[in-house]
Amino acid sequence: MYKSIKDYMRLNNGIEMPILGFGVFRINDNDETADCVKKAIKHGYRSIDTAMIYGNEAGVGKGIKKSGIKREDLFITTKLWNSDQGYDETLKAFENSMERLMVNYLDLYLIHWPVPKNNKYIETWKALETLYRDGKVRAIGVSNFNISHLENIITQCSVVPAVNQVEFHPWFLQTELFTYMRQKRISAEAWSPLGGGALLDNETLLDNKILMGIAKKYNKTVAQVIIRWDIQKNVITIPKSSKEDRIASNANVFDFELSDQDIKTIESLNINHRTGPDPDEFDLGT
């Protein structure tokens, strides 16, 4: 059982990835991003998740430099954007991300969306395999891939994705996808673990009242309960905040353990509701 922010998930290639990380989605200013990353590292986070399309890779790089923590003690993830898919385009985009991040290797590189209409994610994946074989990336994975997309990679390529970062929260369990991923030893990582904040902000919402009842039982916040639920579900989690008190609070989830009944209660809130796009349809920026 995970008892510390230092605890990790062992990926299918043996690489150790922290079970809790810090996301920087929608922290658009590079100076603000650098400050947030530095604060997150101060509060014990060692995994930082960004993406080219976030526009803050340079800020993440600055924050890492300012933190004073050795590069090898951090786990850095970024993602390839839709318009950069294709074999040669991917290799070029990777080098550009490395330059902005000011690092000489990545811990995890993800294809951000499958964009099946373009039908480039297989050749894109083969470029990631090249980066992996060349030692420029310690692990490679995908984001927002459904079963059909994963199956195509597994049957047509050499390396099984180590991670699939997908929307996952109490309203959206993706049970079939997660069952498939467990069978293929693909680790799950949650984006929008708090349902885009909708599960936190509306105190008149019945689901929120249920979560508040569980939180009161453990003397925790609703956000802490959901993050702990993710972790006990063996889902790597990357909550985002630009406020230092919430950055610290989101990491304070290792001194309690949800009961089996409370886990079931949280799962009962599932309504198969996405807050983000459907991966079979999304192609913005291609």
Whether the per-residue pLDDT at 46 is higher than 70: the answer is yes
Classify residue 285: in a domain, yes or no.
no
| Confidence at residue 152, expressed as pLDDT on a 0 to 100 scale | 98
**Lowest model confidence (mean pLDDT) among 81-90, 187-196, 252-261, 263-272:** 187-196
Could you tell me if residue 115 is inside a domain? yes
Whole-structure pTM value: 0.96
- Whether the predicted pLDDT of 284 surpasses 90: no
Give the pLDDT confidence score for residue 202 in this predicted structure: 64
Residue 278 within a domain: no
Q: Indicate whether 246 belongs to any domain.
A: yes
**Mean pLDDT within 70-89:** 98
What integer pLDDT is reported at residue 208 of this predicted model? 82
Which active-site residues does the annotation give?
A: 54
**Count of domains in the chain?**
1
Domain that residue 65 falls in:
8-267
Which CATH number does the domain housing residue 56 bear? 3.20.20.100
Q: Is residue 275 part of a domain?
A: no
How many CA within 13 A on the CB side of residue 41? Answer: 24
The least confident of 34-38, 97-101, 125-129, 203-207 is: 203-207
Mean pLDDT (the chain, rounded): 95
